[in-house]
Amino acid sequence: MKQRVFSGARPTGRQHLGNYLGAIRNYVALQNEYDCIYSVVDIHALTSLEDTKQLQSNIYEMMLDWLAAGLDPKKCILFVQSHVPEVMELFTLLGMVTPLSWLLRVPTFKDKAKLQPHNVNYGLVGYPVLMTADIVLYKAEAIPVGEDQLPHLELAREIVRRFNNMFGDTFPEPLAKLTAFPMVVGLDGKDKMSKQLGNHIELALTPEETLERVKTAVTDPARRYRRDPGHPEVCNVYRLQQYFNELKTSGIAEKCRQAEIGCVDCKELLAEAINKDLAPFRERRQALAAMPEYVTKVLADGAARAGVIARKTLVEVKERMGLD
């Protein structure tokens, strides 16, 4: 039997290059070898209340990107977290076996508490428990995530061990499946590419808009004039070249070092390479956008299939915990 993979992503709307290189491409690759379930975690989004006005359109836009990027509802289950409400029941039950002290020392909780001091809600503390519920509801074993999620996964493993100890072997211990891609740095050349920071390039832009965005990227700060030799190894535009312009990168690096090409030339090459890579994606996205009822159907079907698995696990959990 194929190993089960589960991953979740918050509904952040239109996806960007960081999402694409860091997560989506990996999700697509995994669907051929594993039994994959991918969830848009809308309940998790509620832990930072700002998001909710655009929640539905964010879910829809994100699904368009996922489907256009090649996630195939025939090969994997795609669903919205809240459409399988059993996860909230399991979340409550797992909450009874999770010491509060474990949750209070999670680094992402401390970060979030600092970021939204006016809204340190109960759900925010429970965030990793809900994430554990996501995973174990489907008895998933392999979890593709970025490095920032490792503390959450460690906690999930601890909760699973504790549950299994108290009530008998029920869940496999989930393991992180780190993606081969390092963090994609944003156009500011400093921070991780993120919509929140505005240093991103959306996949669904037009080729012209892509070029405009690429032109705003910070390059090697030591290269102030066209005649200055560049240092591709410290330049984030060059790093992006490596993802999209694989064959040409050695030539580009050399020409940059010799000041044969300037940063504007380099950016034009990059935009061209991104546009070429994304052309089929953009075509598919447009086609999908013309049939919104298809996305609704995919999600309804995904929730139905996920629900069957979820209800079976929940019956077992309640029995083990003495509720039935």
Determine whether 51 is exposed, middle or buried from the number of CB atoms within 10 Å of its CB (0-12, 13-18, 19+): middle
Nearer to ligand TRP, 153 or 298 (CB): 153
The span of 8-16, 204-212, 252-260, 269-277 binding ligand TRP (CB under 6 A) equals 8-16
Nearest Cα to 19, choosing from 187, 242, 269, 200?
Answer: 200
Tell me if 145 contacts ligand TRP by CB under 6 A: yes
- How far apart are the two ends of the chain, measured CA to CA in Å? 30
| 232-271 positions binding ligand TRP, by CB under 6 A | none
Give bridge partners of residue 277 from the DSSP assignment: none
Active-site residue flag, 248: no
Q: Counting contacts by CB under 6 A, is residue 41 touching ligand TRP?
A: yes
Q: Which of 30, 84, 143, 184 binds ligand TRP (CB under 6 A)?
A: 143
9-40 burial, b at 16+ Cβ within 10 Å, e below that, comes to bbbbbbbbbbbbbbbbbbbbebbeebbbbbbb
8 binds ligand TRP (CB under 6 A): yes
Q: Does 135 bind ligand TRP (CB under 6 A)?
A: yes
C-alpha span between 129 and 135 (Å, rounded) = 10
How many residues of this chain bind ligand TRP (CB under 6 A)? 14
Sequence-separated (6 or more) residues with CB below 8 Å from residue 89? 314
Q: Is 112 designated active site?
A: yes
> Pick the catalytic residue: 139, 195, 215, 318?
195
Structure token pair of residue 102: 């474990």
Residue 149 lies near ligand TRP (rule: CB under 6 A): yes
Active site residue 192: yes
Which positions are catalytic?
112, 192, 195
- Site residues for ligand TRP per CB under 6 A: 6-10, 41, 44, 131, 134-135, 143, 145, 149, 152
